[in-house]
Chains A and B, each alone.
Chain A
């Protein structure tokens, strides 16, 4: 085990988890009192989080016990596929967005996990690759979905300007270049902003988890910094690859907008 992670493990009982539901009850009561209509959604969220996290807990336990690289690759592959499916629903304005998203998440996962191993930051064992992979895929999914959603909206809103530049002999890639810059920014800005304010306005989850698990604060901070920097790299790769691949989907091979502006 890395000396960075030489934290003693803690044991959490089901009873303690159940006690935390008291806080959920406050949320449900607030929703009901103010007619926010979220009680059902809160209930579903609690149930789904319990079932999904418990299930993944068993899967991770199995993978840790087996210590098998194949199982790690399989788990991250499943995350990438489900991430692309989820992100596709958010990027509705982009034609055929599934493949660009799938490739973007896969490239982000392989590149960042490969780099952290190559640079000697983490060893290539399930204990490190599974949690880091999950964070990389989850954050990459959000960034790629936000970036493509923005791209789809901008292409729709600026169809007239895009077609005007196509009319001057621009390729489809050249015609959407100004939009690509804005979309990339949209995909990355949330993480960049939260990285700026981390430690001042909020404590990020990994650091909180390590502190709760008994790690020394210095170790918790260092691990958190590593993860923030890894995630910055991952989301930029995911957003960039998704945009680069998806921008072609708005056009025909003859550089014509598939949905031209209304006459």
Chain B
């Protein structure tokens, strides 16, 4: 099991965001689905210690994440936030940011290609790109750390349909070419069905269902096998 959340409760500003959540996320492609404000983005942030639960445990590959160095954990379990949040500078500066901090070598052009961007974008000003292109730069700079797990928070919510389809196709290609596991948070059950093999459904801070996509979402959307863009 990749992640194991054991009776996790998380409170923010006096409001319970996650309430006694127990969930399992296996190796491969998984999705956390639920409506807006259900706590799914918060759950994602607990997986690489951008936040810690008030009670309960988050276990990654058999170890409580609080026993791991948070910086090392975040390089291994990399999170791409919902909205592009690039640093000032070129696309290359952004892709280089994580590896330079870690003192690692990287190949910016191959990371851009893997993220579905033309490698010639490398020297362009990141702030001048479209939102869809910026989102791919976010993906590329996460990939530059060569993570074992990629956490994606609503990766297409700010995009139009064409850009959404392109990002989804990129994620499917990524899975086909690398051994990386992905966890996609989305409010779109159809997207979860297109991208994931395993699904955790969450509503009002509680897990309402979890299991193979064919079981959990069968009554919601037409389900093919995960990993195939439909």
> Is A256 in contact with chain B by the CB < 8 A criterion?
yes
Q: Is there an interface contact between A260 and B101, defined as CB atoms closer than 8 Å?
A: no
Q: Is there an interface contact between B101 and A160, defined as CB atoms closer than 8 Å?
A: no
- In the complex, which residues 35-74 of chain A have their Cβ closer than 8 Å to any Cβ of chain B? none
- Total A-B contacts with CB atoms under 8 angstroms apart: 71
Q: Which residue of B lies closest to A253 (CB)?
A: B70
Q: Is there an interface contact between A171 and B71, defined as CB atoms closer than 8 Å?
A: yes
> Is A161 in contact with chain B by the CB < 8 A criterion?
yes
> Is A214 in contact with chain B by the CB < 8 A criterion?
no
Residues from chain A with a CB closer than 8 A to the CB of B52 are: 252, 254, 256
Judged by DSSP, the binding face of A is loop
> Is B26 in contact with chain A by the CB < 8 A criterion?
no
B97: contacting residue among A163, A165, A171, CB under 8 A:
A165
Q: Is there an interface contact between B81 and A169, defined as CB atoms closer than 8 Å?
A: no
Residues from chain B with a CB closer than 8 A to the CB of A163 are: 50, 81, 85
Q: Is there an interface contact between A169 and B71, defined as CB atoms closer than 8 Å?
A: yes
> Is B102 in contact with chain A by the CB < 8 A criterion?
yes
Residues from chain A with a CB closer than 8 A to the CB of B86 are: 161, 164
Number of interface residues of A (CB under 8 A): 20
A255: contacting residue among B45, B66, B71, CB under 8 A:
B71
Supposing A169-B74, A178-B87, A263-B41 touch, asked if A164 and B101 sit within 8 A by C-beta, the answer is: no
Residues from chain A with a CB closer than 8 A to the CB of B66 are: 254
> Is B59 in contact with chain A by the CB < 8 A criterion?
no
Q: Is there an interface contact between A165 and B87, defined as CB atoms closer than 8 Å?
A: yes
Q: Is there an interface contact between B51 and A161, defined as CB atoms closer than 8 Å?
A: no
Q: Is there an interface contact between B71 and A167, defined as CB atoms closer than 8 Å?
A: no
Number of interface residues of B (CB under 8 A): 33
CA of A178 to CA of B85, assembled, Å: 13
Residues from chain B with a CB closer than 8 A to the CB of A168 are: 74-75, 78, 97-98, 101, 141-142, 145
CA of A260 to CA of B102, assembled, Å: 23
Q: Is there an interface contact between A167 and B48, defined as CB atoms closer than 8 Å?
A: yes
| A160, A163, A168, A256 — most chain B CB neighbours (10 Å) | A168
> Is A211 in contact with chain B by the CB < 8 A criterion?
no
Q: Is there an interface contact between A260 and B45, defined as CB atoms closer than 8 Å?
A: yes
Q: Which residue of B lies closest to A169 (CB)?
A: B75
Supposing A164-B138, A260-B51 touch, asked if A169 and B101 sit within 8 A by C-beta, the answer is: yes
> Is A166 in contact with chain B by the CB < 8 A criterion?
yes
- In the complex, which residues 55-113 of chain B have their Cβ closer than 8 Å to any Cβ of chain A? 66, 70-72, 74-75, 78-81, 83, 85-88, 97-98, 101-102
Supposing A161-B85, A254-B52 touch, asked if A167 and B78 sit within 8 A by C-beta, the answer is: yes
B98: contacting residue among A169, A256, A257, CB under 8 A:
A169
- In the complex, which residues 198-213 of chain A have their Cβ closer than 8 Å to any Cβ of chain B? none
18 intermolecular pairs with C-beta atoms under 8 Å apart: A164-B81, A164-B138, A165-B97, A167-B80, A167-B142, A168-B75, A168-B101, A168-B141, A168-B145, A171-B71, A254-B66, A255-B70, A256-B50, A256-B51, A260-B45, A260-B50, A263-B37, A263-B42
